[in-house]
Amino acid sequence: MEIKLLIDRLKIKQVYGHTNREVTHITTDSRQVKKGSIFVASKGNRVDSHNFIEDVINKGVEVIVVERFVEVSDDITVILVNDSLRVASLFAHMLYEYPTNHLTTVGITGTNGKTTIATMLHHLWQHLGLNSSYIGTNGFMLNANHYETKNTTPETVTLTEHIHEAVDFGADVMNFEVSSHGLMIGRLNGVEFDIAIFTNLTQDHLDFHGSMTDYKYAKERLFTGLGQDLSKEKYVILNGDDPVSELYRTSSPYEVITYGLQSHHDIYADHIKESIEGTTFRLMTPTGQYNVTSPYIGLFNVSNLIAAMTACWVKGYSFEQIIQTIDQLERVSGRLEVLDDSLPIQLVIDFAHTPDGLQKVIESVKPLVQNKLIVLTGMQGERDTTKAFDMGRIACLGDVAIYTPDNPVDDDPDYLTGLLKAGATHDNIYEFSDRSRGVEFAIEISEPGDTILLTGKGREPYQIGPGGVKHPYREDEIALNAAYKKYGVMDREN
Ligand SMILES: CC(=O)N[C@H]1[C@@H](OP(=O)(O)OP(=O)(O)OC[C@H]2O[C@@H](n3ccc(=O)[nH]c3=O)[C@H](O)[C@@H]2O)O[C@H](CO)[C@@H](O)[C@@H]1O[C@H](C)C(=O)N[C@@H](C)C(=O)N[C@H](CCC(=O)O)C(=O)O
Ligand SMILES: Nc1ncnc2c1ncn2[C@@H]1O[C@H](COP(=O)(O)OP(=O)(O)OP(=O)(O)O)[C@@H](O)[C@H]1O
């Protein structure tokens, strides 16, 4: 695309150099530039990437977007603007031909359940015969192809580029985990959603948002962002069990469908029966009642599954069609996942890292516990530590609570476990500054019939230590190795 077309869209700007250049790529990261790239410089929390301009010019970049004047040779085109990241969104969407117009987009927001619902949907669409894409905490996916990403909602240019890749791949639908950070700092600028789903709002990320009120309004942006154009077919799917849905109901003019576990919702479940293999329930819908056998454990996963099914239903699939695919659905990686059911203990990994998530996950597992319940929980460094006290208290719903750090970054691991310990409600508690030792200890003290619930990590393959350095870490492997050592089960499948 000729940069003149991009520049013409901006009123407030100063442009130096030629405007008849062709560009094929845009990036906010100097390490990603190639010939034909526009490089957008910005001031981050850690570095000011205006400092990399010489470097990107040496790599062949001829067009740069900046927020402050920089001295460069005359053969470089410099576009000086007020807010370079806002311009990055605009240029990226123009360059990639407004990619969200070419597929169905589903945005999922809420404190817990985004990855779960987005993953369920990604599989449901494929079983219904569509090509699907997923972007979120577990990376970027095009059907079964998986690529790593850095954030739950990546920065604006990377996100737009991935949407463009999904369109090129032939994806019919793209499922987005929409983080409140992403909504607040413009990572989703230009993304036009067709379906917006809300899971729940409970305490998390107060280090970033400051208060639950600000956090609530951050998430509301997904719903106000749907716009007002009623010639478009869009839907709002809200968890009726969460009171915040009443606000989000008023945030958008599109049809609202509520789901949940209570009979006054539009779509809900009753006759729920839980086991360690999964859950059965009766799905009550505007088109009839259906029996569902779900491979997912836990009441909150009934809610999550209904949200996912509802998104397929509003796109025209019947509940009969949708339910037929459910027994083929894959487990959601690291979310209430039972590791090797041949063991004499129930060894479960989960990603719960908020008080509500932890409470729900313990409540889900408790009825299935035969002997004692050992809960391991962790506190993240440099994050919302005000949740630690409650998490320490909730972990004591187990007979044994083990406190560890989880991605401590530059915080002292003992400080983090101490914050958890402050909430303890019984004495059967242990602290480990090395999380893997805590996992091994949980196995060491277990007896056949016990349930061990390892929360906060799931299958995240690293621990973030001092300086933000990621060290390889696999909780599933540590736990299984310790369990095989203790219980001698050799036929491991992993
Ligand atoms: C606090 C925060 O949001 N930080 C984000 C921010 O980092 P930053 O401001 O420190 O960036 P920086 O390192 O100063 O770099 C500034 C600019 O220079 C560029 N750069 C940098 C180095 C270089 O050599 N060359 C270069 O061009 C960078 O690409 C960037 O454009 O910009 C980065 C690039 O876009 C993000 O990856 C990073 O997310 C970090 C990793 C993070 O942990 N964010 C969390 C708080 C977050 O966003 N979480 C949400 C929610 C998750 C959930 O729901 O649990 C998420 O969506 O992930
Ligand atoms: N609907 C729900 N309500 C409460 N807790 C839930 C719900 N769904 C999942 N959880 C719990 O929260 C944990 C995280 O789930 P999931 O990864 O789906 O959430 P998320 O919103 O994507 O979180 P993140 O933004 O941190 O990636 C799960 O492992 C489970 O313990």
- The one-digit pLDDT tens for each residue of the chain (494 residues) are 999 999 999 998 999 999 999 999 999 999 999 999 999 999 998 999 999 999 999 999 999 999 999 999 999 999 999 999 999 999 999 999 999 999 999 999 999 999 999 999 999 999 999 999 999 999 999 999 999 998 999 999 999 999 999 999 999 999 999 999 999 999 999 999 999 999 999 877 777 777 888 888 899 999 999 999 999 999 999 999 999 999 999 999 999 999 999 999 999 999 999 888 889 999 999 999 999 999 998 899 999 999 999 999 999 999 999 999 998 888 888 889 999 889 999 999 999 999 999 999 999 999 889 999 999 999 999 888 889 999 999 999 999 999 999 999 999 999 999 999 999 999 999 999 999 999 999 999 999 999 999 999 999 999 999 999 999 999 999 999 999 999 987 554 44
268 falls within a domain: yes
Residue range 271-288, pLDDT digits in tens: 999 888 889 999 999 999
Residue 113 CB less than 6 A away from ligand 2: yes
Q: Is 46 annotated as a binding residue?
A: no
Residue that terminates a domain, selected from 65, 95, 125? 95
Query: Does 349 reside within a domain?
Result: yes
Sheet containing 429-431: which strands, arranged edge to edge? Answer: 337-339, 346-350, 451-455, 373-380, 400-406, 429-431
Instruction: For residue 433, tell me if it sits in a domain.
Output: yes
Residue 332 within a domain: no
DSSP letter at 127 equals H
171 and 247 in a single domain? The answer is: yes
Q: Does 310 lie in the same domain as 221?
A: yes
Q: Which of 95, 112, 143 is the last residue of a domain?
A: 95
Looking at the fold, whether 251 and 322 belong to one and the same domain comes out as yes
Domain extent, residue 370, equals 337-486
CATH at 79: 3.40.1390.10
CA-151 nearest atom, ligand 1:
58
Q: What is the pTM of this model?
A: 0.91
Residue type, 75: D
Tell which of 95, 110, 139 closes a domain.
95
Q: Are residues 146 and 271 in the same domain?
A: yes
Cα–Cα distance, 358 to 264 (Å, whole number): 27
Residues 180 and 61 reside in one and the same domain: no
- Top mutation candidate among 109, 111, 115 for ligand 2, by most atoms within 8 Å of CB: 115
Does residue 494 sit within a domain?
Answer: no
pLDDT on residue 259: 98
Q: Which of 151, 201, 383, 384 to mutate to test the pocket of ligand 1 (most atoms within 8 A of CB)?
A: 151
Ligand 2 centre and the CA of 225: distance in Å? 23
Same-domain status, 63 and 135: no
Give the number of the atom of ligand 1 that is nearest the alpha carbon of residue 158: 35
Same-domain check for residues 123 and 268: yes
The total number of structural domains in the chain stands at 3
Residue 16 resides in a domain? yes
Backbone φ/ψ region at 210: left (φ over 0), alpha (ψ -120 to 50), beta: left
The answer to whether residues 15 and 145 belong to one domain is no
**In 3D, which of 453, 380, 361 has the Cα closest to residue 420?**
380
Q: Does one domain contain both 424 and 480?
A: yes
Residues 179 and 58 in one domain: no
Residue 392 in contact with residue 355, Cβ under 8 Å? no
User: Could you tell me the two tokens for 408?
Assistant: 């401590």
- Answer whether residue 276 is part of any domain: yes
CA distance linking residue 231 with residue 419, whole number of Å: 52
Q: How many CA atoms lie within 13 A of 248 on its CB side?
A: 33
Has 45 been labeled as part of a binding site?
no
- Please report whether residue 331 resides in a domain: no
38 vs 19: CA distance, rounded Å: 12
Q: Does one domain contain both 238 and 363? A: no
| Ligand 2 pocket, residue 359 CB under 6 Å | no
Whether residues 406 and 476 share a domain: the answer is yes
